[in-house]
Chain A
Amino acid sequence: NAGVTQTPKFRILKIGQSMTLQCAQDMNHNYMYWYRQDPGMGLKLIYYSVGAGITDKGEVPNGYNVSRSTTEDFPLRLELAAPSQTSVYFCASSYSYRKYNEQFFGPGTRLTVL
């Protein structure tokens, strides 16, 4: 199993550009998550999904959109990139959502907005 994969690994955007961060998992997990990690900070939840077709906002959803058309894929969309979105983005998945919410993380996408 590849686990959780993310592409691209690095990206530089200009202010106002848009892009999609890709995330896929092959563990047949129903639950998937997007986090951002800023220097010296923990992980902040952007959006999550409890199954195909179902998504919900996390702690910091502004400026982002998600979709979940399949169990395997959970792309994150930035429509109008801003410098405040410079961060490292991690996708994660888990088998369970509540008590046994052991999340497995991808390698991350490092995004710089100039």
Chain B
Amino acid sequence: GQQLNQSPQSMFIQEGEDVSMNCTSSSIFNTWLWYKQDPGEGPVLLIALYKAGELTSNGRLTAQFGITRKDSFLNISASIPSDVGIYFCAGLNYGGSQGNLIFGKGTKLSVKP
């Protein structure tokens, strides 16, 4: 089946630093979503991308839909302690009868005050 490679697996950064993470796939996706999961909670949608090349921001978060449609990037600027959590990418290829999200394994972010 389709797989997403999400990297890095984990990050340890100082408060105030910028963060970059990405997801790549061997298949083309039509939609990319980025979620954040806090400990003991369900994932919360951060940003949705629908078009190749699209760049979308949500506060300090910026995500891009790769031009090849096989990758996506999430950047967090000026990190703060509440950014701690696991960030997941999810891709959707809704060709044919399939319309289900494929999730990456997540990037665990730790922020040192």
- Whether A associates with B in a native complex is yes
Q: A residues near B, CB below 8 A?
A: 4, 33, 40-45, 48, 58-59, 90, 92, 97-108
**Chain B interface residues toward A at CB < 8 A:** 1, 4, 6, 30-31, 33, 35, 40-45, 48, 50, 88, 90, 92, 94, 99-101, 103-106
Are B1 and A59 in contact, CB atoms less than 8 angstroms apart? yes
Contact of B88 with A43 in the complex, beta carbons under 8 Å: yes
Let me know if B43 and A100 touch, CB within 8 A: no
Q: B40 contacts which chain A residues (CB < 8 A)? A: 107-108
Cα A105 to Cα B8 with chains together (Å): 24
A4 to B41, CA, bound (A): 12
**List of A residues within 8 angstroms of B106 by Cβ:** 40, 42
With contacts A42-B4, A42-B88, A59-B1 taken as known, whether A101 is within 8 angstroms of B99 at the C-beta atoms is yes
- A58 and B100 contact, CB distance less than 8 A: yes
